[in-house]
Structure formats: C-alpha cells, structure tokens
A and B are shown apart, each in its own frame.
Chain A
Amino acid sequence: QPVSIVLADSREIASGPEVISCLKTVHKVKVEVCPLGGCDYIVSNRLAVERKSLSDFSSGVNRSKLVERVKNLQNLFERVCLIVEKDRVKPGETSRLFQRTKYYDSTLSALTSAGVQILFSSSQEETAGLLKELMQLEQRKRTAITVPTQVTGNKQHALRFYLSIPDVSYIAALNLCHHFQSVKQMSGSSVDAIAKRAQVSRQKAEEIYRYVHHVFEAEMLQTRH
C-alpha cells in the first residue's frame, strides 16, 4: 500500500481547516501544506482540485475571478476538478435558501463543456472524503504523487528555478527536482525524458523543452512603465 499524499495550499489552513484535519484523522491521508499559489489541492501528478463555496460559485460578481482561476489551472494541469461546497452555517444562523439563477446554470454548462469535473459537497468533511476518493482513483491510474514533498539544501534553489518556468505546476516542479540529478541534465533532456521524469503530458513536456531552448531576445522584453 503506497503512502497517500495530498498537497494542500497554505491558505487552506485558514479557509478549510476541517478538510485538512478530516483528511488526516479520518481518512489517514498524508497532507503536505505547501505554497501552491494558484490552486487549493493537488491530489496526483495531473489533477488539481479547486474548492469553492456555493455562495462564491453562484454569485455572478465572482465570474471573472472564477474564469481566471480555472483557466490558470487548465494551463497548469491535465485535469481540473471543482468542488462546490455548501456554505457553513454559523451557530444561531439559519441556512439561507439557495436561489438557483441563470448565471449558475450557464456556468455549470460552460464548465462541463470545457471538461472541468464538478463535484458537489455539503460540508468540509464531505469535501475531505471526495478528495480522498479522487486521490485513490488517481492512485489506481498510477498517477499518484510519489516523490517526497520536502526539499532541502541546494534543491530548494532548483525548485524555485523550475517553478519559474511558465505553466509548470508545483508537483511537476517537485518531480523535476527529484528525478533529475542536476538542472543541467534536465535542460539537456529530450521531450520524452522530460515527460517521463516530470510526470507530465507530452504536450506539457514539449512546452518545457521549448522554453529551455528558447532564444532570449532583449528587445522582446516587456517594458514596465
């Protein structure tokens, strides 16, 4: 039985404390809190999970934020899953009745059309259960996270370097860190070698390859005013 690891974004400690503690205590999943930047959870080498409260998700005010976030995740990961979680009811408060709007339906339609997986959860505990099931499914498909998530010494510099490559996810950067002896070795590798060691799709490996071989032109620099 391989160790099950889920990466959680540091911000989730504040916004989803029960998700994390439930994963740890009830489901016996190893949760590593990392600065993931753009996403809430990484459950495998290719799947990112974004947790959204129902009120957040169903409000049109947040549309551009949601679009930006999901698109960013799609650039980083092969698969994106969105968990829409019912808001917590504070003691003494009655739960507000959910009003289904046209915005809500059209967002759901657009997301399913774009191939984003959507799951519905009624609480943080249920979200933890869903995360665990997603992780187990990915494990069966042999895409589970297998590298150590702790990076020490010189390797920390390499991790920062890999993370600065556009559209490389935290887990892909970790894989690059652990599966290449040096940054030099990585930069001299073929597309196939990158795909295999970073555990990314061929397309993503090609992007990384192109980036490493891209010729720098000073006049192409974006000037900031």
Chain B
Amino acid sequence: MLNPTTPVRAGASAVPYGHAIGSEKWRGTELAHLLQGKIRLLFEDGLGLVDFHIANRTCILYISEADIVAGNAFKRRLVQFRKACNLKGIVIVEKTRLSDQYLPPVQTFVVLELGMVLLPVANKSEAAQLLINLVLERSKERTSNPFIGKKSCQFSSTNILSTVQTIPGVGKVTALQLLQHFPSIHQLANASHSQLEAVVGHGTASNVHAFFTRT
C-alpha cells in the first residue's frame, strides 16, 4: 500500500480551516466515526504515509498499539515522511499498558532525532478528542493562541534606570543624575572620568568609570 515514490500527496499542504483530509483507510473506522460532526472530514486515496492532513501544513501520522509492538516498521515510515517533505509532522501514538514500555525510545526517536511532535493517547476516543482540538486550534486566528503573540509593551526608560542602578555605588538618585547627562548606556559607558566627576562626586565617578572599564 505504501508507495515510496509518492509518500505524501502533493498539494495536500493547503487544507481548508476546520477540515481534515483523512486517508481512505480510515473510512468507516471508529476514529472516523468519532470525528464526524465535530470537524469536516474528507477522505482521499493515495495520501501515502500520512493519515490526516490538517491546516497550516500539518500532517498527522498515527501509530497504533499494534504498530509499536510489532517492531520497527513505523520508524521507517516516519523517516520516509521526514525525508519526503517539509510539512510539519505530528505523531499520535497509542500509549497503552501493552505499548507503554516501548514508548521512551520512541519518544527520543520521534522528538529528538526526527524533530517531530509526539502526542500520546490511550485509545481511539482520546485520539479523536486530540485530533479535533488540533484541527480547531489550527483554524483559529493565531492571535487567539495564548502562547503566540507579541511581547507586552516595554518600559525601556524604567528598565535602563534599574540597569544603571546595578552599578556598584549607584542608587536611584545618582542613576537619574547620570542618565540626565549621559542618556544612554552607550554614552554613559564612554564617559571619561572627568566628565563623570562633573556630574557626580569624585568617589562615585571613580566607581562608575572603573565598573565600565574593568569589569
């Protein structure tokens, strides 16, 4: 069934949001049944190594309990997939009492060696729940993902003030004085001893100058 010349269906990288394209072999299975109604599942022939295509160039490869216990054939399939395309691969693996012991090396192989994502599930209904979430997540606006997003606004001036206060012997008052005359860290670092002395006292000027040049 696996045709090495077409390991991944060409053009399957564009899947409409809220949809999943499933391999024909999943038609009529328990998993397909659980997915129906929650997401739009289409079946296609010739997906090759991939079980499901979802949006954002992501593919799902399903490793069943039987695959793991049977040996290393699934590894060849994953390597083939990795070599064939640059689509993102998520490996869903059945972690049951039977397959549990084999899982640590599988995780090392998939995540660390192949650089793919591995998500264990206990059974087909958990797999369906996870798949639905993956499809829905990738259909949402990226901004609704709490882990993606711009940094909160910065208060650079506040930060710079506290950075300058880390110089030994410099408190808030001295830091403000210094920054009013040498308004960036770059300028402050390049100030000569006499320039510093004109702003703060002799002792502090020596401290600051020594800090920048000797540490």
Contact = CB atoms under 8 A, between A and B. Distances in A.
Q: Do A and B interact with each other, yes or no? A: yes
A105 B157 contact: no
Contacts of B111: 117-119
B147 A67 contact: yes
Given A109-B134, A164-B163, A100 B126 contact: yes
A151 to B, nearest CB: 10
B contact face: mostly helix, strand, loop, or mixed:
helix
B90 interface: yes
Given A113-B138, A117-B111, A182-B215, A67 B146 contact: yes
Interface in A100-129: 100, 102, 105-106, 108-114, 116-120, 122, 126, 129
Contacts of A126: 104
A133 B112 contact: yes
B207 to A, nearest CB: 10
Given A71-B147, A213-B184, A108 B133 contact: yes
- Most interface-central of A75, A188, A215 (chain B CB within 10 A): A215
A118 B186 contact: no
Contacts of A95: none
Contact of A134 (B104, B112, B121, B149): B112
A39 B32 CA distance: 40
B176 interface: yes
A187 B213 CA distance: 11
Contacts of B108: 130, 133
B133 A166 contact: no
Contact of A160 (B117, B157, B166, B190): B166
B203 to A, nearest CB: 16
Contact of A188 (B103, B151, B163, B186): B186
A182 B137 CA distance: 48
Interface stretch (A7-15, A28-36, A192-200, A217-225): A217-225
A90 interface: no
A182 B210 CA distance: 10
Contacts of B137: 106, 109-110, 113
B133 A106 contact: yes
Given A106-B137, A184-B213, A222 B155 contact: yes
B130 A105 contact: yes
B29 interface: no
A contact face: mostly helix, strand, loop, or mixed:
helix
B156 A102 contact: no
B215 A154 contact: yes
Contacts of B155: 220-222
- Most interface-central of B119, B132, B137, B190 (chain A CB within 10 A): B137
A215 B161 CA distance: 11
A158 interface: yes
B186 A102 contact: no
21 contacts: A75-B151, A105-B129, A105-B132, A106-B133, A110-B145, A111-B147, A112-B134, A113-B137, A114-B147, A117-B117, A133-B112, A164-B159, A167-B151, A183-B215, A211-B185, A212-B184, A214-B185, A216-B183, A217-B183, A222-B155, A222-B157
Given A75-B151, A214-B157, 6 more contacts: A71-B147, A109-B133, A109-B136, A182-B214, A184-B189, A220-B158
Question: A-B pairs with the 8 shortest C-beta distances?
Answer: A114-B147, A109-B137, A220-B157, A105-B133, A187-B189, A154-B215, A158-B215, A184-B212
Interface of A: 67, 70-71, 74-75, 100, 102, 105-106, 108-114, 116-120, 122, 126, 129-130, 133-134, 137, 154-155, 157-158, 160-161, 163-167, 182-184, 187-188, 211-218, 220-222
